[in-house]
Structure 1
């Protein structure tokens, strides 16, 4: 379950001086507070969603929303609020998401670079994640011997329906005794066609 919602925090307090209160009609000052509102996911601020302003007469203690005040008071308030900046931490969630996307993209590019090297230079113990030709199953194939032109492998007897679960079938007791012989050209062709889509090398 994803927990999300909105919250607010006070970002500025101040005084508006020499104004006439619409309620008590005294020449007085007013205290204002500016609250920033933000959306959150799992209580981590994601992005700002607006502001709320509260103004209180220092004489009669009546509170007002901005649209309840006279134009002169609004103008003074608008000058006061110009330096009320939205806190950077309101964007924490966006920053975290952007960082994770960048990290995933970087790791994916690094993995692709390594795979491109490993497929051309196979080594004993390499484990290939493979996609079956039918029914969308996934399994693993392990390199047992490498010669100048050939690669010898054994294939796991078990299959899974999702790429994310393929590590579950990479267990020594699951591999068949039947050895598959492949030329290095065949191996590269399987990689280029994405039949082999990942390579794990210890």
Structure 2
């Protein structure tokens, strides 16, 4: 569940004088600012509005925005809405930007690694594959599986094919992550699949190979 919504933060300023309160004619006011912001998982993400006002120290009468002299409104905004107060209100946006940059970096790194894995395959490499692009008798609803390299010889890679097929790639990724795909019993023992190493790159580009995991 995603928790989001709007909240507000009040910033208290200094006491100003020289303005008559329309309610009690007192001339002392406390300045304040109200920052409304959108939050995601309670993390301030984006400022939606900034309001300034003054409160009479005697009768608590409030005057905000257009009720204030323009020069005073600008002075209060400058004094209260400093970088120290405003920047934390964009924390969520900064976090999201960092996650996007990290995601792009990770994707590029994985892509570079997979190119190396294809050009220099190793025994026990795990391939998440689209079975419909490799075998003719595959159920199109459960088209994802895992193939594991068992031997490399004479320009060919020998693969075992998983007994299990998935309707989503996430199922295959989970079995790799949990170690299930490292078990011998996970693979069909009726025969191996032999593929020329120089054809692996073409299979990746055609979508037959989705991703490669090299076990450390």
User: TM-score normalized by structure 2?
Assistant: 0.83
Cα deviation per residue 1:22-51 (whole Å; 9 max; x = unaligned)?
Answer: 12234x122121121111111111111112
Number of the residue aligned with 1:151: 157
Partners of 1:101 and 1:170 in 2: CA distance: 30
Matched, 1:114 2:113: yes
- The Cα offsets for residues 114-150 of structure 1, whole Å up to 9 and x where unpaired, read as 1101111111111111012262511000101101311
User: Does residue 189 of the first structure (1) align with residue 202 of the second (2)?
Assistant: yes
Task: Report if aligned partners of 1:16, 1:76 keep a CA contact under 8 Å in 2.
Answer: no
CA distance in 2, matches of 1:41, 1:126: 39
Alpha-carbon distance between aligned partners in 2 of 1:53 and 1:80, rounded to the nearest angstrom: 7
Q: Does 1:82 align with 2:78?
A: yes
Secondary structure, counterpart of 1:113 in structure 2? helix
Aligned position for 1:174 = 186
State whether residues 11 and 87 of structure 1, in contact with CA within 8 Å, keep that contact through their aligned partners in structure 2: no
Gaps of 5+ in 1: none
**8 Å contact kept, 1:131–1:197:** yes
- Runs of 4+, deviation exceeding 3 Å: none
Secondary structure in 1 matching 2:121: coil
Structure 2 residue 175 is matched with structure 1 residue 163: no
Q: How many residues align?
A: 198
> Partner of 1:10 in structure 2?
10
Task: Tell me the alpha carbon deviations over residues 85-138 of structure 1, each in whole angstroms, 9 at most, x when there is no partner.
Answer: 252111110111111111111111111111101111111111111012262511
Corresponding residue SS for 2:192: strand
Q: Which runs of 5+ in 2 are unaligned?
A: 133-137
Measure how far apart 1:171 and its partner are.
Answer: 4.6
Q: Flag the 1:181–1:66 CA change in 2: closer, same or farther, 3 A.
A: closer
Question: What is the rounded CA distance, in whole Å, between the counterparts of 1:191 and 1:33 in structure 2?
Answer: 60
Q: Which has the higher strand share?
A: 1
The Cα of 1:80 is off from its aligned counterpart by 2.8
Q: Distance in 1 between matches of 2:73 and 2:205?
A: 65
Give the superposed CA RMSD: 1.9
CA drift at 1:13 = 1.0
Q: What's the TM-score, normalizing by structure 1?
A: 0.88
